[in-house]
């Protein structure tokens, strides 16, 4: 089974005095849900962009199944924080655009796009223009568009960051349902501590200046959801509160160092 592996990756942007990320290693197997947390400036998005093939690491390697990542590829799909959708197209056309780039014949695209929209619980919104949709619905379209690529790995760059708390919670269950239903590996960046705990199978805590790993947690709450337990029950578990405290401590420890 292929792994998405970042090995001792250093990212150094042109014109910057210090690297954004230094010697970070991350391993995502298919079926994993790896979440990167940490304060702003710890290089979470840079790492995701390396995995996406949008940013080239200064040192270290990024590879899938041993094959180096040098450019964006159809084995990975990205969902961005701000909807990177095309406002001149409808929701269906946005998804169909991804299908078109994959070479799906025109006759099939609309039907496939509708299926994908239904998968993210956007049935019947296919004809809506992007600017007519709410923030949560836009992120669902973005998710459907990413899934259209039928990726092995899904890269999520704070996709729920701009959403209100209730919409965010609903999106979390959608994400978990999609992840449970398919043998997909997920690498996600978030600011939300609770969100990380709900979704992750493992959490990587990063600290800024330059971005580096301070701790890694293995968590099992999303597996419990996958085996049928309700999110509310999981969140009410004292173990959840304990994990939240520990994770928060780890993030602030990294801050102090």
Partner 1 sequence: MTVTSYTERPVAKAGAKLPKVNDEPDALSVPWSRPRPKRSRVSARVVSAITILVVLAAWALSARLQLVSPVFLPSPAAVWTKFITVARDGFVDATLAQHVAASLGRVFAALVATIIVGVPVGLAIGISTIGRGIFDPLLEFLRPIPPLAYLPLVVIWFGIGEPSKILVIAIAMLAPVALSTAAGVRGVSQERINAARSLGATRAQLVRHVILPSALPSILTGLRIALGAGWSTLVAAELVAAARGLGFMIQSAAQFLVTDVVVMGILVIAAIAFALEFIIRRIERVLVPWAGRE
Q: Least CB distance from residue 108 to partner 1, whole Å?
A: 17
The b/e string for 68-104 (b: 16+ C-beta within 10 A; e otherwise) is ebeeebebbbbbbbebebeeeebbbbbbbbbbeeeeb
Q: Least CB distance from residue 11 to partner 1, whole Å?
A: 15
Residue 26 touching partner 1 (CB under 8 A) = no
Segment near partner 1 (CB under 8 A); pick from 60-68, 141-149, 159-167, 245-253:
141-149
Q: Least CB distance from residue 56 to partner 1, whole Å?
A: 13
Residue 236 touching partner 1 (CB under 8 A) = no
Residues 117-136 touching partner 1, rule: CB under 8 A, are: 129-131
Contacts of residue 228, defined as CB under 8 A and 6 or more positions apart, other chains included, come to: none
Residue 252 touching partner 1 (CB under 8 A) = no
Residue 96 touching partner 1 (CB under 8 A) = no
**β-pairing, 3-11 with 59-64?**
antiparallel
Q: Between the CA of residue 112 and those of 78, 80, 185, what are the distances in Å? A: 19, 22, 22
Task: Give the C-alpha separation, 188 to 158, whole Å.
Answer: 7
Cβ atoms within 10 Å of 232's Cβ, excluding its own: 9
Q: What are phi and psi of 23, to 5 degrees?
A: 45, 60
Query: For partner 1, which is the closer residue by CB, 21 or 130?
Result: 130
Query: For partner 1, which is the closer residue by CB, 51 or 247?
Result: 51
Residue 67 touching partner 1 (CB under 8 A) = no
Query: Which sign, positive or negative, has the C-alpha torsion 32, 30, 57, 148?
Result: negative
19, 38, 43, 53: which one binds partner 1 (CB under 8 A) = 53
How many residues bind partner 1, per CB under 8 A? 30
Residue 62 touching partner 1 (CB under 8 A) = no
Binding site for partner 1 (CB under 8 A): 49, 52-54, 72-74, 76-78, 80-82, 84-88, 97-98, 101-102, 129-131, 142, 145, 148-149, 155
């Amino acid at each position: 089974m292929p792994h998405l592996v970042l090995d001792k990756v250093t990212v150094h942007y042109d014109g910057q005095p210090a690297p954004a990320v230094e010697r970070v290693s991350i391993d995502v197997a298919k079926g994993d849900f790896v979440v990167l947390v940490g304060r702003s400036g710890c290089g979470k998005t840079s790492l995701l962009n390396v995995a996406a093939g949008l940013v080239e690491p200064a040192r270290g390697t990024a590879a899938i199944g041993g094959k180096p990542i040098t450019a964006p590829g159809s084995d990975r799909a990205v969902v961005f924080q701000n909807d990177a959708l095309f406002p001149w197209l409808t929701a269906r056309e946005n998804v169909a655009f991804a299908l078109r780039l994959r070479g799906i014949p025109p006759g099939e695209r609309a039907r496939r796009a509708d299926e994908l929209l239904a998968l993210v619980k956007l049935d019947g919104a296919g004809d809506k223009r992007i600017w007519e949709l709410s923030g949560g619905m836009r992120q669902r379209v973005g998710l459907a568009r990413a899934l259209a690529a039928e990726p092995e790995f899904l890269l999520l760059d704070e996709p729920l960051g701009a959403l209100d708390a209730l919409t965010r919670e609903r999106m979390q269950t959608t994400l978990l349902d999609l992840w449970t239903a398919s043998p997909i590996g997920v690498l996600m960046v978030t600011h939300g501590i609770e969100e990380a705990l709900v979704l992750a199978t493992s959490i990587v805590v990063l600290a800024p200046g330059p971005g580096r790993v301070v701790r890694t947690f293995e968590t099992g709450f999303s597996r419990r959801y996958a085996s049928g337990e309700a999110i509310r029950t999981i969140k009410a578990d004292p173990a959840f509160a304990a994990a939240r405290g520990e994770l928060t401590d780890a993030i602030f420890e990294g801050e102090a160092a």
